[in-house]
Structure 1
Amino acid sequence: MAHWTQLDAAPIPGGGTLKLLQRGESEFSITLGHNELMNSRLRGSEEALATLAAERLGKRPRPRFLIGGLGMGFTLRAALAVLPADAEISVAELIPQVVAWARGPLAPIFAGCLDDPRVSIREADVASLIRAGKAGYDAILLDVDNGPDGLMVAANDRLYDFAGLAAAKSALRKGGVLAIWSAGPDRSFTERLRMSGFSVEEKKVRANASGGGARHVVWLATAAAADRDWSPPESAPSRRGPRRR
């Protein structure tokens, strides 16, 4: 079997390094330390993050999506495949090199989707865009970590605590959906979503588009309009440690 070759590396705010690896002609991997964050052969659950959210929303005029984390573009491409021509999709990517990889060595995987007129790439912290997006999105899709525990950037924890969930709910339009990818289940986070006033469905999805591979989790959380003024508790339940994806 061919060995992995490192193509590039990118520092992460707060410490740590992302590495882009290639094996053979067409397999790519992005790693953080000993954790593989994504692999070009495993796209099923990332695609499900978009398709499940779109199904939950149903047909809406000019739907606005915010995707947190560009990755290898699987969630973005899946969203483009199911959303109408008048949709608007903003993708927040904190690390500029990830965007450069998408236009460079990973360009065959992205297949020109960054040039779709529905897409805008924001080199920004998705948490900042959420806080600024009052009732601005029909769906917020988060795949910035291995789950709700801030593995890649410790500051990402603020996306998943009570204050972060309150901000996400405020940024959603009536009946909007917050969809979150995770490498595995987390009962305390499911409960936190419910305590934050969301109606929650936890979907188990396979890593491979063909239906094989590891079982990942996508939370689909919907907030009723009557819950929009909910205030977060002073403290949140504790989180588990990092998981390998």
Structure 2
Amino acid sequence: MTPRELIGTAQVPGGEELRLFRRGADFMIVLDRNELMNSRMSGSEEALATMTCDRLTGRKAPHLLIGGYGMGFTLRAALARLAGDARLTVAELVPEIIAWARGPMAELAAGCLDDRRVNLVEDDVAAVIRRASASYDAILLDVDNGPDGLTRDENDRLYSASGLAAAKAALRPGGILAVWSAGADAAFTRRLGGAGFQVEEAVVRARSNGKGPRHVIWFGTKR
């Protein structure tokens, strides 16, 4: 087996250390013993974008906020789905993530960060959301393994009642809050509905070929 090579490390503000590994042509981002991302498993992150974009059909010049660049799967899928009048704001808290995208993972990034429709913001997506008012047609969150603060405790506020209220306020009428998760969470489903969203929960596969572990995406539509 090809050995795994450590390419770089990054400290998550208020959290633990991320490590970027490469094995052959594959990349992995790891937190402690948790593999957060793998370049071979992009299906559910792409579905986060495509399924959201499909729910925005008919909107002119939609503005999407993507929380967490990761390996860029969600961003690239959204760019491929949306027309030239769309705008995508990407909030990424860890600068090394972007450095990796422009460096060792540049081929994987495929120039998505340089697309004229993209505005990259080096900031906490929770702070970006709280500064906004009826600004976005969709907010896409993939900053943890689910609706809890795995990478940093402060991410819990994104999924709390106050965090969901802030997201709702940041969305335009009929806007969508889409949240990726490695698994189901009945309490979060109830909390999302209680925050005034119309809730849809979808099960998607980790791999783009329809195989691999089952992941969950919540779509909360602002009533």
TM-score range, shorter chain: over 0.9
**What SS does structure 2 have at the residue aligned with 1:159?**
helix
1:160-179 alignment to 2 at 5 Å?
160-179=159-178
Q: CA deviation at 1:15?
A: 3.5
- Provide the rounded CA distance (Å) in 2 between the counterparts of 1:165 and 1:200: 13
CA distance in 1, matches of 2:23, 2:46: 23
Q: Deviations over 1:27-83 (max 9, x none)?
A: 000000000000000000000001111111212111000000000000000000011
Contact 2:15 2:151 in 1 (8 A): no
Conserved? CA contact 1:57–1:175, under 8 Å: no
Scaled by the length of structure 1, the TM-score of the pair is 0.90
How far off is 1:195 after superposition?
0.7
SS in 1 for 2:149: coil
Q: How does 1:1-245 map to 2 (within 5 A)?
A: 1-24=1-24, 26-224=25-223
Identity among equivalent positions (%) equals 60
**1:238 alignment partner in structure 2:** none
Segments of structure 2 that go 5 or more residues without pairing to the other structure are none
Equivalent residue letter for 1:222: T
| 1:113, distance to aligned residue in structure 2 (A) | 0.8
Q: Which amino acid aligns with 2:109?
A: F
Moved more, 13-22 or 40-49: 13-22
Instruction: List, as ranges, runs of 4+ consecutive aligned residues in structure 1 with deviation greater than 4 Å.
Output: none
Give the counterpart letter for 2:212 in structure 1.
G
Q: Which TM-score applies when normalising by structure 2?
A: 0.99
Distance of 1:215 and 1:107 partners within structure 2: 28
Aligned mates of 2:16, 2:193 — CA distance in 1: 33
- TM-superposed CA distance for 1:133, in Å, is 1.2
Residues 118-164 of structure 1, C-alpha deviations (whole Å, 9 max, x = no match) = 00111100011101110000000000000001100110000000000
In 2: Cα distance, 1:171 partner to 1:165 partner: 10
Q: How well do the aligned residues superpose, as a CA RMSD in angstroms?
A: 0.6
Partners of 2:132 and 2:191 lie apart in 1 by 22
Q: Is the 8 A contact 1:63 1:137 kept in 2?
A: yes
Q: Secondary structure at the match of 2:9?
A: strand
Counterpart-to-counterpart distance in 2, 1:126 and 1:83:
22
SS in 1 for 2:219: strand
For 1:205, give the aligned amino acid: V
